């Protein structure tokens, strides 16, 4: 192969890698920005959860239509469009001064991520020669984890800057810099998006897409840009043979519809859907997105929590390399089984570490309820004095933890609508007062009210009195406990990266039979994104009411189903052709 063709193949892999980098930034950027956004935006826990989950919701929406769009406008234009959406999302988020613009910007990022997650692997599969496809997928996944690491390093830098400002002892300056910090974190992620857009315009269109559009000469030209003339001619002939076979197979629509109900299609489809749903039910995206907050509440300081997140992403990055090297040696079934087993153990350990302090929680709802003014609002600066006053009124249980730094989360309601405040720590010198207002809980219109609670009475909630359902004060764990939590999360990430992180997409594409691959993958990916979005949306409210331990134990329970599916029902696909895998399920159906 000439140097020119080899150079183009490297450039193509670079552009695809930039797509993976953007996908990783989409997932990871919020973790470093969230503590500062939480401190300065005035958003409650439910709103912050929606801001985090908006990326995943956008991914759900775009994943649903990505395949159809790729077939309609082409792979190359869709890659450029996905990059443009990411570029546009940055100023929308970084310049926002309200909840709606934040959610809209994050939705744009999610739509971009969903399109990238579908179109870039699809483009690679159709453009790369068979000998380069594994390398291409590996680079995409590898740079995806690098994107998460990059986002963590950026967050770490601003955490140092925030600590420097905090030493000045000026609360106003600290608040202003935290506001600047989260905006700057998003601005820094802009250059990779611009490079990806430029690169998308410079690569060739997919030869397979061009051929299906009847552009045979253009398809051949795209092939010879990365292959020898002989290789291009052979692949073009294979496309023509495949097209003729597909035309013959679809001559009887009734036969096709009947064949899709056979177990050789149903069993692998159901397996793939379970695997992709369980992949998100491990909580991986929420653990990445809320990682800094988790470590802060585990006992680490702001800088330590950001260092912990950087190390967490580096573990993900390095273990992904290990997974890529092992997947063709040990097999998909083995790595998924080992990975899910390790995830279960690490999640249980993390939950137990949080349970030690969360079992000492004190409910000071009566004290907070008494603070409600005539307009049914509460403004509470939760510092050491406020904590001691609330704990002193809580009897012996409150006195038992009165000498330690504590955190407070308030769950409150107006009529049929409930909300939770962000977590406040009594030792946070730059903390802003907790604001409990009707506006932070009651939806603005009937549409939002329906999705919040379909059986609610919006008009009654607009005049209902404030009810404090719980005001949970929890002792802040020690720094030692915080690092134990960090280590258990490192172990979680290591097992996820080497198993599910590498294998899940490969297993998905191998399990799906040729006839249902495109539609089957779309449905399975949609389920994957829907589960991830649901978990992210409920994460902070659930943690506020029941604690981190409940959340981690729930993730562990879901992963048990993952382990059983991988260890018992999933066949090994290593070294088998797609036809051999289909034959396996044909035999299972007899």
Give dist(CA 278, CA 559) in Å, integer.
Answer: 6
Could you identify the residue written with the tokens 């970084």?
94
Q: What is the mean pLDDT of residues 529-551?
A: 78
Quickly list H helices, 250-301. Answer: 253-259, 263-281, 284-289, 291-298
| In the chain, where the domains are located | 1-203, 252-356+477-590, 362-400+405-475
pLDDT digits (tens, 9 = 90+) for 114-166: 888 778 777 776 776 655 555 566 677 777 788 877 777 887 788 788 888 88
Give dist(CA 406, CA 332) in Å, integer.
Answer: 45
pLDDT class of 261 with cuts at 50, 70, 90: low
pLDDT digits (tens, 9 = 90+) for 371-384: 988 889 999 888 88
Burial of residue 82 (number of CB atoms within 10 Å: 0-12, 13-18, 19+): buried
**What pLDDT was estimated at residue 590?**
45
Which range, of 78-82, 352-356, 425-429, 472-476, averages the lowest pLDDT?
425-429
The mean pLDDT value of the chain amounts to: 80
Nearest to 8 by CA among 222, 323, 232: 222
β-pair type (424-425, 466-475): unpaired
* Residues 6 or more apart in contact with residue 359 via CB below 8 angstroms: none
Distance between start and end Cα atoms, the chain: 47
Q: Which residues of 251-287 are buried (b: 16+ CB within 10 A; e: fewer)?
A: eeeeeeeeeeeeebbebbbebbbbbbbbbbbbbbbbb
Asked if 1-203 and 252-356+477-590 have one fold, the answer is: yes
pLDDT digits (tens, 9 = 90+) for 394-409: 777 777 776 778 888 8
**What pLDDT was estimated at residue 137?**
63
For CA atoms 484, 486, 489, 493, the dihedral sign is: negative
Top-confidence residue, 28 or 99: 99
**What pLDDT was estimated at residue 589?**
44
Top-confidence residue, 68 or 194: 194
pTM over 0.75: no
Note whether 406 and 473 are within 8 A (CB).
Answer: yes
* Total Cβ atoms within 10 A of residue 98: 11
E strands, 182-254, where? none
Note whether 550 and 542 are within 8 A (CB).
Answer: yes
Which range, of 39-43, 192-196, 312-316, averages the lowest pLDDT?
39-43
Given a cut of 60, whether residue 259 has pLDDT beyond it is no
CATH class of 1-203: mainly alpha
Q: What is the mean pLDDT of residues 554-561?
A: 93
Q: What is the mean pLDDT of residues 185-197?
A: 86
Architecture of the domain defined by 252-356+477-590: Up-down Bundle (1.20)
**What pLDDT was estimated at residue 492?**
96
* Residues 6 or more apart in contact with residue 83 via CB below 8 angstroms: 19, 22, 112, 116, 193, 194, 196, 197, 200
Q: What is the mean pLDDT of residues 316-331?
A: 80
């Amino acid at each position: 192969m000439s140097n020119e063709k080899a150079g183009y193949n490297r450039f193509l892999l670079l552009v695809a890698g930039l797509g993976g980098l953007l996908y990783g930034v989409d997932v990871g950027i919020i973790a470093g920005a969230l503590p500062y956004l939480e401190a300065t935006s005035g958003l409650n826990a439910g709103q912050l959860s929606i801001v985090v989950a908006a990326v995943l919701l956008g991914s759900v929406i775009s994943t649903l239509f990505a395949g159809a769009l790729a077939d309609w406008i082409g792979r190359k234009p869709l890659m450029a469009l996905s990059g443009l959406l990411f570029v546009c999302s940055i100023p929308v988020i970084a310049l926002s001064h309200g909840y709606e613009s934040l959610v809209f910007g994050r939705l744009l990022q999610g739509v971009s991520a969903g399109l990238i997650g579908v179109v870039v692997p699809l483009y690679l599969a159709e453009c790369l020669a068979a000998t380069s496809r594994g390398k291409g997928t590996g680079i995409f996944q590898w740079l995806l984890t690098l994107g998460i690491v990059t986002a963590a390093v950026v967050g770490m830098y601003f955490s140092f800057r925030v600590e420097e400002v905090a030493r000045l002892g000026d609360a106003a300056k600290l608040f202003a810099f935290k506001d600047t910090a989260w905006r700057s974190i998003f601005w820094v992620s802009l250059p990779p998006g611009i490079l990806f857009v430029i690169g998308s315009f410079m690569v060739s269109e997919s030869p397979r897409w061009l051929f299906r559009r009847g552009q045979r000469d253009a398809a051949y030209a795209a092939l010879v840009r990365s292959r020898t003339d002989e290789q291009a001619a052979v692949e073009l002939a294979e496309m023509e043979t495949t097209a003729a076979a597909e035309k013959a197979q679809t001559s009887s629509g009734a036969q096709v519809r009947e064949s899709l109900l056979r177990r050789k299609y149903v069993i692998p489809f159901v397996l793939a859907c379970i695997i992709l749903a369980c992949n998100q039910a491990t909580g991986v995206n929420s653990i990445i997105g809320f990682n800094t907050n988790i470590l802060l509440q585990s006992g680490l300081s702001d800088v330590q929590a950001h260092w912990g997140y950087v190390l967490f992403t580096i573990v993900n990055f390095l273990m992904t390399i290990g997974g890529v090297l092992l997947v063709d040696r040990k097999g998909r079934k083995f790595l998924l089984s080992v990975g899910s087993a390790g995830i279960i153990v690490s999640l249980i350990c993390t939950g137990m570490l949080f349970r030690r302090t969360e079992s000492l929680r004190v409910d000071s709802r009566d004290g907070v309820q008494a603070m409600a003014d005539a307009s049914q609002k509460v403004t509470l600066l939760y510092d050491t004095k406020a904590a001691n006053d609330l704990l002193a009124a809580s009897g012996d249980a409150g006195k038992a933890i009165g000498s330690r730094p504590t955190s407070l989360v308030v769950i409150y309601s107006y009529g049929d609508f409930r909300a939770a405040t962000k977590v406040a720590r009594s030792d946070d010198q730059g903390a802003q007062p907790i604001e409990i207002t009707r506006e932070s809980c009651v939806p603005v219109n009937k549409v939002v009210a329906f999705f919040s609670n379909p059986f609610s009475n919006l008009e009654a909630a607009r005049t209902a009195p404030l009810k404090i359902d719980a005001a949970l004060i929890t002792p802040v764990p020690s720094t030692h406990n915080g690092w134990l939590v960090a280590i258990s999360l490192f172990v979680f990430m290591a097992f996820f990266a080497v198993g599910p992180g590498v294998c899940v997409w490969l297993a998905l594409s191998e399990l799906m039979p040729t006839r249902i691959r495109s539609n089957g993958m779309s449905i399975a990916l949609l389920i994957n994104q829907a589960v991830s979005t649901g978990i992210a949306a409920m994460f902070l409210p659930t943690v506020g009411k029941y604690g981190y331990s409940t959340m981690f134990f729930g993730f562990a329970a879901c992963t048990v189903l993952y382990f059983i599916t991988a260890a018992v029902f999933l066949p090994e696909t290593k070294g088998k052709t797609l036809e051999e895998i289909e034959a396996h399920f044909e035999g299972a159906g007899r």
